Structure formats: structure tokens, C-alpha cells
A and B are shown apart, each in its own frame.
Chain A
Amino acid sequence: MDELIHVPGEEDGGPVAMGPGVRKISLALLLLGALVILGTTAMDTLFPAPVVKPIGQEARDLMQAKLQQNPWDGSLASGWETHLKARSRVRRSLAPFWSAFVMKVLNTVPADLVAGQDGWLFLRDRIQPPAATRDRGIRLMGQTGAAIQRRLARMGSAVTFIPVPRKAVACAEKLPRGMKSDPEYDAGIVQALRERGVTLLDVTRAWEDVPAEGRYLRRDTHWAFGGEKALARSIAETYPELVTHETKLWLQEAPTAAPALLLDFAAIQRDHPAVDWINGDVSIRPYLRPREVLKRMKKLPTDVDVAVVGSSFTRNFAFAELVAVALGRVVYPGGIAGTPFGGSLAYFAGKFSGRRFPSRVLYEFPIHQAFQIGAGSHSAQQSLAAFFTGTTEAGTLPLPVDLLGPFTFAEKPRRGGKVLFPEGTLLSSGDGVLQLRIKTWGDDSTEWQLRSTGALQYWVLGPGEHEVLLPVIQSLPDGSEVGIVAAQGAAPTATVTVTVEVDADLEHAVEIPLEPSGDHGLQGASEAVSVGLHDVVTIQWTGSPEEIDVLIRGVTPDGVEREVRATFREPVSKICVLSLTPFEAGEITAVEVQGAIGEVRAFLAPQLSD
């Protein structure tokens, strides 16, 4: 039989009985232990700590998680545990002291964080992009950016993307020695946007003369005052035409305790005394003066021409105010905290729905948000869907039905809520140049998904008739399957009709003559052809080729050579539509088509005018 634990005083066990002194101490410790446990229980039950209310996406995620909790998979129990822990007053009062001690003296932080040099903290999951979706993320950001730009252009806004480098890249010298942060990823995002012709501001360049302490806050996930200020200055330098000084604005700068959001991850809440001991950094909080202007800005001015849209970097800091001062004009501050990529754009589109959009939108987003795009994150896709659905006022025209092949669903309603465009049907540059006008009729609320290789967009429609316009954003291979599916299984009472549309004026397209070149090739644009910013090229054919390669070469107005390339295997449709946005309204110098069979024609179509 197994040997049982020996305890002093037990009949068959203890080799040594407890002496009176030891007995007293053991009983005292038992009492103390019980007091610690029961005291905590009593304190936390009678005086629970107030609930920390999450905001923005966090609040939505929490609500979603709560709705999905059930007792059978542990999620309900896990939710209770989190709740109990979060409301523990003892924990929230005492743990920060220990956590601060461990952090300061033993340089030890919880697994979510990385302790860098000089007390810098980094979020671990933002230091390296997820390997599995890294390249896909870069590619899709280029295409998504182009789609957003096209859509805003149709709404009358020129957008400038402001991709803020990750803290681990912008302040790489503060990472632990030897730790890598994949700066090529951030550069790749910028490059991908540029190659798609997306207008952007190079934050890295704007921050060249700003030290690490000025770029990001030491113990927070956001930028520091110096970085914001340099960026606002850079905007004014890049867009001198926006600088008006129509309004006399200035900033009143006040020193304040620097935000230290990352300490939350180490259980040190922001109002705890341990924060002062561990942090102690001072930051500048600028206040826009005169005060009335700030109030006016926040009340959505009717005549605003510049909007600063962005994440918590804009919402929780003074970026919009700094831009206003740099430009000398009122701007619309459209920052939303806790939203994924596209979330603030969706909110902005909602705010300006039915009104004139500002002519320039400065869209700030931290580059780590591209991780979500690459991973097909539900919340990011939901935000993008909300943005595109919120800007359906932009006009589009249906593609000629006879060119779409046998899978044309226009005017072909199907019951059951599912429409599929198989591989080879929707042939485009995958950056929103093709759009799907989706009409639904239902007796009840229905939930829908647009599924493609680049997007999983999700939207909910109430009973009745609805219409949404969603761009087709695809990663490679181009022309892969796209489906519109009822999210909650079959939707027997819903009917859906989908029309494939393009945001270009095909009726006024100009043909680019194609001449034979090589064995199976065709070449066009022997003389340079000027293009507008969001023009498109369509290639049409009559045969059934195995594969079509299209290459369009051109230059931007600055003389930078660019190309648009697409390959479609076993195309079903007889038309492909390629965006010319990358040429930034420069010139096409060559069009090459390989593999097309039958009568092959190329057209240059201008963007639809209002």
C-alpha cells in the first residue's frame, strides 16, 4: 500500500510530535491564513470594486462574448471568474504594489507585456506580426486602402492615410537588446498602399528628428506629444493649400502625468497610487484655444473641409487640435477609441451621411491594426462593411450582363439567402473596383456575410427591403469564389438579388486598340494615354481561354513607373476590370494581354462623375 502522509500526532504516523511552541505558531498561521482568505472574500463581497466600463470595440467584444457564454463549454464559468476577479477590491488595492515591485526590482512583467530598456513597456502581440497572415495582411491592406480611397473619392473626399508605425518599430532602440520587431512589415504596409496608388503620409519621415521619448509614451500604447506635433507640422508642409489661418488658433500646453495604459496589463489600474511610483513620467497635454473653437469642432461644423479621422491615437490625444493649429483652420475631430481598422471611418461616414463630405480626410491608423485585416478579423470586417454600407450614395453602374457568363444573378432572385459567384466569375484588381449591390427582402431580421478570399464582411438587416453596396476585395488568386450567404443558416423568408457593378462610366469608355504581339499576345497603348485618378481598364474577350494575363504599365505624374498586373485562370466571365488608381492620374504607356481568345478589346473608362 502507498505510504500516506505523516502528520504529527496521527496514530500511525508522526515520528515527531509538535512541541508547544511550534503548535502555537502553526495554529496562529492557520488563523492568519483563514483571515487572509475569509477577509478577502468578505471584503470583495461586501465592498466590491466598481466595474471598469469598457468602451468602443472592447465593449462590443465583451457584449458579444457575454451573449455567446454558455455553461457547456466553460465560457460562462470563465466569464464569472473574470468578473469576480475584476471586482475584487482586495486584488485591485494590493496587487498593484506587488506588481510594481516585481516590475521595478525584478524587471518581470506579465506575459502580455515585454519589458524593454529604460523601463519601456511593449505589448507582446504587437511586436511581431502573426507569421501565418503576415504577407496576406500586407497585400490586403493595399487593396482595402485602395477600395476606401475609391469610395471616399466618390463621396467627394480625398483621403490621406496616416499609418502610424508600431511602437516596437518606431522605438526599436528601446526593445530588449536583440529583440526584433520586423520593421519590414510596417514598410511593407506603406509600400503596398503606395503601389495601389493610395495617398499617404510617411510618418517615419516625419519622425526622423523626434527621439523615441517623443514618438511614443514609455508605458502606454500611444504616441507622445512630440510625435503628434511633428506629424501635424508635416501635414501642413505636405498640404500647403490646406493652410488658411482663417481662424486664430493656439495651444495652451500643460504638463500632466503621462498616460500609462500598459500598466493595466500588470494589474496596476490607472488611479492606483502605485502608478506614480512605477511611472512618474510627465507628458504635455495641449488645450486648443479659444475654447469656443474646440466646442464648435466637436459639434460637427457644417462647413468643415478637413476631417481628422482615426483611432484612440486621435480620440484620446490632441492630434486633431494640433492639426487644426498647424493648418490654422477648424477641422472635424473624428477619432474613435477601441475600434478596429475602418471603425472610425464607418463612424465618420455615418456622421456625414446626407451631408457634404469634407474635401480632405486625414485617416490615422496604427499599423498593428493591419494584423486584423490579414487575419480576417470579424470586428475589422464588420467595421469595413459598415463604412462601405454607409457610403452607398456613391454611384455605380451594372456590368454588362452578357459579359458576366452564366453566373449573373442580376434580376435572378433566389430564395434561401445564398448567392455564389464561383471562381473565374468576378475578375478584377480586387480593390473594390467591382462592387456588389445586394438587395434583400425579408419578413424578419436577417444576417449576411460576404465571403471572399480577402474579406468576410458581415451585416444585419431588419425586416423589409434593404440595399447595400459592398466592394469586392480579394487576395490572391484573383477571380476566386465570392459568396453572399445568410449568416444564420438558411433564411427561408429572405430573398436576395445581387448585381455586379463597377464605379466607372463604361458608356463613355474609350477603346485602346490592341495589336498582335508575340505568339498569343496583344499589345496596346503604343502612345501614352492620359488617365484620371480612379479610371479603369476593362479587357473583354469572346472565347474561353485557359488563362489570361494582363499587364498595364504606366507612370505617375511624378514620373514613377508603376504597373497593374493580373492573372485569371480558367475565366468564366468575358470581362475583367482593373483599377488604374496606382498611376495617380498619370499615363498608361503599355497594355499587354496574353492568352485571350476570340475577339479581344480593351477600354479605358473614366470614373463616374456625380
Chain B
Amino acid sequence: MLLTSYVFLYVFLPAFLAAYYLAPRAWRSWIIALFSYVFYGWWRPDFVLLMWVSTLVDYSCGKGIVRDRRRERSGKRFVLLSCLSNLGLLAYFKYANFGVETLNGILASMGHDQVSWTAVVLPVGISFYTFQTLSYTVDVYRGDAEPASSFRDFACYVSMFPQLVAGPIVRYRSVAEQLRTRTHSLEKAAIGALIFQAGMAKKVLLADTFAIAADAGFGADSLSVLEAWVAALSYTFQIYFDFSGYSDMAIGLGLLIGFRFPVNFNRPYISRSITEFWRRWHISLSSFLRDYLYVPLGGNRKGAVRTYVNLALTMLLGGLWHGAAWTFIAWGAYQGFWLILERLSGKRSLFGGLPAFAQNLLTFVLVVFGWVFFRADSMGDAFRMMGAMVGASSGAGAGLFIEWTPMQTLAMIAAPIVVWGFRTTQEQAAAPRAWWMMVVFLLFLVSLMHLHRAANVPFLYFQF
């Protein structure tokens, strides 16, 4: 179910909130789980089974670790089981098609028969909830988190619909206490509603408007230099407003039922280095990769070379997590390359000697080029787009401006103001001002109208 769909806004959400607040406190986590299963299984009910498997396995693993500890055993076997089941699910559903395609490519080039294969459908949000359940087992094993006190709380944690399909990735220990006891207040709900509304406006009014030029540009055969930049910039803004919009909606929904979720974006495009960018972009993923991949690999504790190798590996896998395609791997490698280069120069911006705005601008340009890998359908397309951006392979143009509308011009003007000029939604929410609240509410009404006039556009991060 899409958070911007009619059925969610006018049927599911009112029904859920009514059931949640009318239910006795002890039942509320069950209500969340129950509605979350409906939410998740709305399009594919069979995929709920996968979530149940993941929930049961990791809940049992958490219990198993505790039992082993009592018997003075490490509990490692349960971590292994959790890794195997979660990463196995992820490997099969997300990477099997890619693996077979790659294998068939190799076999074809060698003149051998190809492996016949029925493509596997990717369950929405599997990348998110498998990471969450995995983090639970690892945290319990490490002693960073207490095992879930009840199956109800754990099922609620895994399935929680606001952030289920596109993050932020919520670690168990972040919400363990809230699962047991959380406060509800009108003020909290009011702020939650406003954050939700702000996220919706970002998605519907900005991201979907930028999608027009981004889709047209990345789908074109030949682009002029200007068109290539407009397409790349459009995607840069689209992905930010789309993803941060979803995160805002998830955080807002969480607050409506008393949960405080992690902050996921902190003005990433104001960064002056790629290192800083990764502290501000999809924070819940970068901290997850840091804590569950980079650090276990040895982090920076095993010498300079291993640090760089670990960094590269982490970013490569981070890229692959986003999607099973060479373009995502290239995007991960690209990010890793700049992170290593910055580390080599002493964890400073590569443009350290320049004024702050120039450092920001050049870092932003690097990020824009990175998004080209991320968005392109193939490596060839990515290089063609980059070539067009630097004037090396630009062509006659794809007529990107033929249908350019005043709405797109408005979005192009508004986006930099929002990105560079405004505080983040969470900063605004922490100290809300009357004008901000009223503008957000007005934009929410406009978003509803805008949603009503056309088909819903799915969130970009649903595919990851």
C-alpha cells in the first residue's frame, strides 16, 4: 500500500488510528502488527509469510542466544542462523535474478547454453525488514540490546508499517523501550501530523514534479549538455525529496502512535565532503553499515590498507543493497572511491582550501555524478549521460524542454531554497513556529488535491 494512496489516507489510516486509540494499551502493539500485515500484504498477501518467517526465526534466535548465555555458551550459532535466514531471503529474492542474468551472460559469451530461470518477484521492503531483524539478533548477541520481552513487541517492531517498506531502518534497541511503554499526547500527534504532511508535500509536489524531467532525460538517446545537467539535477532533487519525504511521513506516522523514530536525513546537500554527505544522507543505513559491516570487518583498527579495503567493501555492499545491478555496484564503488580519497587527505574535504560555498558546490557536483550511476538503466547509459554532462558525448538533444512547464520551473526554484535555505523538517518540528505549521498544512491540502487529479507515483525507495 502506498502512503499517498486514496485507500491508505482515507480508509486504512482512519481505521488504524481508531482501532489503535480505542484499544486497551496492552493490545496496541498487536493492533499495529495486525494492521501492518494488512498494509504489507495488500498487494501480495503471500509475502506476509516471509515476514512471519523472518519474525519467528529472529525472535527465536534472540531467545536462543539468551538460553545459550545461561549455559555459558556464546550463542554464535543463533547469529549464524539469523544471518543465514535473513541474508538467504535477501539473496534469493533480491539477487537471484541478477546472478542468473550475469551467469547467462558469461555462458552466452562462451557459447554455452543458458540456464533457464523464472524471474523472482522482489517483495517490497525486504531489504529493510531483514536488516532490522538481523540487527536485533546481532545486538542481542553483542549485548547491546536486551532480547524482546514479548513476541508481541517483536512482531510489532518487525512489521511496523510506517517505516516498513522504505525506512528509516529502525534498530530494535532504539525502540525497545518505546515498544514496552510510550507516551501519547496531542502535542506529539500534532507534530507527527505536521511532519507527515511535510513529507507528503515533498513527495507529491516536488519529487513527482522532478520525476518528469529525470525520467525523460534518463530515457533519452541523445541529450545536449544543458539537458543532461537538468536531467541529472532533477533526479538529484527527486531522490532527495522522494526519500526524505517518505522518511518524514514514516516519522510522522510513528509520532501519531507515540513512537520516535531515528532521524534519517540532515540536509545532505549542504555537505562539504563526501564523508560529511554520508553522515547526513540515509543516516540509518550508513550507521547500520558502519556498525554491522565496517566495524566487524575491522574498521580502521587494522592498519591503513585494511581501512581502505573495509571502506571500499562497505560501500560496494551498500551499493548492492540498493539494487541488484552493476549500476548500483558502480555507485557504491564511486562513493567508496571518494571516501578513501578523503581519508587519504586526512578525513578532510578534498576542496579544503576553497571557500565554504565552493566546497559545498563541488561536493554537490560529485554527488550529482554519483546519482547518474544510481539512476541509469545500465552502465552504458550512465557513461552516456556523464559524457553528455561534460560535453563529450552530447547530442542534438532530446527535446527535454519541449514540455517544460511553469510547475517544473517553480520546483527548480523551490528545491534549492528548501535544500539550502531551510532547516530540516525534524529541526522545524523540534521548535515549531506558527508560520511553518500553517504553510505545511496548506501544502498538505494542495498535495491532496494534486494526488486526486492523477495516478499515484510509487516511492523510489520501494524498489530497493
**Minimum distance in angstroms from A272 CB to a CB of chain B:** 12
* B44 engages A81 (CB within 8 Å): no
Count chain B CB atoms within 10 A of each CB in A84, A114, A266 and give the residue with the most: A84
Q: Chain A residues near B260 (CB, 8 Å)?
A: 4-5, 7, 10, 13
Q: How far is the CA of A78 from the CA of B455 in the complex (A)?
A: 12
**Does B243 make an interface contact (CB < 8 A)?**
no
CB A72 to nearest CB in B, in angstroms, measures: 6
Which A residues are in CB contact (< 8 Å) with B452? 88, 91, 94-95, 98, 267
Q: Which residues of B contact A99 (CB under 8 A)?
A: 449, 453
Q: Mark B231-257, 1 if CB is under 8 A from A, else 0.
A: 000000000000000000001001100
B263 touches A72 (CB 8 A): no
Is A3's beta carbon under 8 Å from chain B? yes
How distant is A415 from chain B, measured CB to nearest CB, in Å?
30
Among B110-118, B323-331, B354-362, B405-413, the stretch that binds chain A is B405-413
Q: Determine whether the beta carbon of B10 is less than 8 Å from that of A22.
A: no
Residues B10 and A4 in contact, CB atoms below 8 Å apart: no
Taking CB atoms, residues of chain A closer than 8 Å to B445 are 36
Q: Does A495 have its Cβ within 8 Å of any Cβ on chain B?
A: no
Please state if A81 and B7 are interface contacts (CB–CB under 8 Å): yes
Number of A-B contacts (CB under 8 A): 188
Q: Are A91 and B429 in contact (CB under 8 A)?
A: no
Let me know if A3 and B402 touch, CB within 8 A. Answer: no
Measured CB to CB, the closest approach of chain B to A80, in angstroms, equals 7
CB distance from B434 to the nearest CB of A (A): 5
Q: Does A530 sit within 8 A of B, measured CB to CB?
A: no
A70 to chain B, nearest CB (A): 10
Question: In this complex, what residue of A is CB-closest to B403?
Answer: A176
Known pairs A7-B429, A74-B42, A111-B455; list 9 more (Cβ under 8 Å): A3-B262, A4-B260, A36-B445, A44-B10, A73-B44, A77-B42, A96-B453, A97-B449, A98-B446
Quick one: CB contact mask for A6-50 with B, threshold 8 Å, 1 for yes? 111110011110100111011101101110111011001000000
Does B71 reach chain A (CB closer than 8 Å)?
no
A-B CB contact pairs (8 Å), 18 listed: A2-B168, A2-B287, A3-B262, A5-B254, A7-B255, A7-B430, A8-B191, A16-B431, A26-B190, A26-B191, A26-B437, A29-B441, A33-B193, A74-B43, A102-B453, A106-B405, A110-B453, A180-B399
Asked if B197 is at the interface of the complex by the 8 Å CB criterion, the answer is yes
| A5/B437 in contact, CB under 8 A | no
A9 to chain B: which residues have CB within 8 Å? Answer: 185, 187-188
- Interface residues in B7-31 (C-beta closer than 8 Å to A): 7, 9-11, 13-14
Closest to A29 in B: B441
A179 contacts chain B at the CB level, 8 A cutoff: yes
**Which chain A residues lie closer than 8 Å to B449 at the CB level?**
94-95, 97-99
Q: Which residues of B contact A30 (CB under 8 A)?
A: 186, 189-190, 193
Q: How far is the CB of A266 from chain B (nearest CB, A)?
A: 6
Q: Shortest Cβ distance from A104 into chain B, in angstroms?
A: 11
Contact A78-B437, Cβ < 8 Å, known A18-B187, A29-B190: no
State A3–B266 Cα separation when bound (angstroms). Answer: 11
Nearest CB of chain A from residue B15's CB, rounded to whole Å: 9
Please indicate the chain B residues that have their CB under 8 angstroms from the CB of A33 in the complex.
193, 197, 441, 444
Q: State whether B9 touches A37 (Cβ < 8 A).
A: yes
Q: Min CB distance, B350 to chain A, in Å?
A: 27
Interface residues of B: mostly helix, strand, loop or mixed? helix
CB distance A25 to B434 under 8 Å?
yes
Q: Which residues of A contact B13 (CB under 8 A)?
A: 37
Are the C-beta atoms of A84 and B11 separated by less than 8 Å?
Answer: yes
Q: Which of B422-464 contact A (CB under 8 A)?
A: 426, 429-434, 437-438, 441, 444-446, 448-450, 452-455
- Bitwise interface map of B from 386 to 407 toward A, beta carbon under 8 Å scored 1, else 0: 0000000000000101110111
CB neighbours of A6 from chain B (8 A):
426, 429-430
Q: In the complex the two chains form, is A15's CB within 8 Å of B430's CB? A: yes
Is the beta-carbon distance between A106 and B406 smaller than 8 angstroms? yes
Which of B193, B251, B448 sits near A5, CB closer than 8 Å?
B251
Shortest beta-carbon distance, B167 to chain A, in Å?
Answer: 11
B138 CB-CB contact with A under 8 Å: no
**Which A-chain residue is minimally distant from B283 (CB atoms)?**
A2
Q: Quick one: CB contact mask for B184-210 with A, threshold 8 Å, 1 for yes?
A: 011111110111010000000000000
Interface flag for A115 (CB, 8 Å): yes
B43 closest partner in A (C-beta): A74
**CB neighbours of B5 from chain A (8 A):** 81
A177 part of interface (Cβ distance < 8 Å): yes
**Residues of A contacting B6 with CB < 8 Å?**
81, 84-85, 88, 91
Tell me the chain A residues, 60-116 only, with Cβ under 8 Å from chain B. Answer: 71-74, 77-78, 80-81, 84-85, 88, 91, 94-99, 102, 105-108, 110-111, 114-115
Closest Cβ neighbor of A178 among chain B residues: B402
User: Do B284 and A2 have beta carbons less than 8 Å apart?
Assistant: yes
Interface assignment of A1: CB less than 8 Å from any CB of chain B? yes
Contacts A3-B262, A41-B10 known; A8 to B187 CB distance under 8 Å?
yes
Q: Is the CB of A27 within 8 A of B430?
A: no
Cβ 8 A contact of A72, one of B45, B174, B399, B403: B45
CB distance from B139 to the nearest CB of A (A): 10
A22 touches B426 (CB 8 A): no
* Interchain CB contact under 8 A, A5 and B14: no
> Which B residue sits closest to A73, measured CB to CB?
B44
- In the complex, which residues of chain A have a beta carbon less than 8 angstroms from the beta carbon of B212? 111
Considering only residues 252-273 of chain A, those with a C-beta below 8 Å from chain B are 266-267
User: Is there an interface contact between B11 and A107, defined as CB atoms closer than 8 Å?
Assistant: no
- Taken together as a complex, chains A and B put the C-alpha atoms of A177 and B43 apart, in Å, by 41
Find out whether the CB atom of B405 lies under 8 angstroms from the CB atom of A108: yes
Report chain B residues within 8 Å CB of A91. Answer: 6, 452
Asked if A7 meets B191 with Cβ closer than 8 Å, knowing A2-B283, A44-B10, A84-B11, the reply is yes
| Distance between Cα atoms of A44 and B403 in the complex (Å) | 35
Name A26's contact: one of B10, B187, B430 (CB within 8 Å).
B187
Beyond A3-B262, A10-B260, A98-B450, is A25–B438 a contact (Cβ under 8 Å)?
A: yes
Kindly identify which residue among B186, B437, B448 contacts A25, using a CB–CB cutoff of 8 Å. B437
1/0 per residue, CB under 8 A from B, across A150-179: the answer is: 000000000000000000000000001111
Q: Is B374 an interface residue (CB 8 A)?
A: no
CB atoms of B194 and A115 under 8 A apart: no
Cβ-closest 3 pairs across A and B = A2-B262, A95-B452, A74-B43
> Which residues does chain B contribute within 8 Å of A177, judged by CB atoms?
402
- Which A-chain residue is minimally distant from B252 (CB atoms)? A5
> Please, what's the 1-or-0 string for A197-213, where 1 marks a CB less than 8 Å from any CB in chain B?
00000000000000000
Judge if B109 is at the interface, Cβ distance under 8 Å.
no
Tell me the minimal C-beta distance from A109 to chain B in angstroms. 8
Nearest CB of chain B from residue A277's CB, rounded to whole Å:
15
Q: How many Å lie between the Cα of A27 and that of B188 in the bound state?
A: 10
Look across to chain A and name the residue whose beta carbon is closest to the beta carbon of B145.
Answer: A1
Which residues of B lie under 8 Å from residue A179 when comparing CB positions?
399, 402-403
Hey, which chain A residues are within 8 Å of B410, CB to CB?
106
B171 interfacial by beta-carbon distance below 8 Å: yes
A180 (CB) vs chain B CBs: closest residue = B399
- Residue with the highest number of chain B CB atoms closer than 10 Å, among A30, A40, A176: A30
Instruction: Give the residues in chain B near A180, CB-CB below 8 Å.
Output: 399
- Tell me if B261 is interfacial: C-beta within 8 Å of chain A: yes
Greatest chain B CB density within 10 A among A2, A15, A26 is at A2
Closest to B425 in A: A5
- A4-B174 in contact given A72-B46, A98-B452 (Cβ < 8 Å): yes
Given contacts A23-B187, A77-B43, contact A102 B403 (CB under 8 A): no
Interchain CA distance A21-B1 in the complex, whole Å: 37
Assembly CA distance A80 to B429 (angstroms):
35
The docked-state distance in angstroms from the alpha carbon of A74 to that of B171 is 30
**Cβ-defined partner of A41 (8 Å) among B11, B185, B251, B402:** B11
Give the shortest distance, in Å, between A543 (CB) and chain B (any CB): 37
Residue of A whose beta carbon sits closest to that of B452? A95
A84 to B432, CA, bound (A): 35
Is there an interface contact between B405 and A27, defined as CB atoms closer than 8 Å?
no
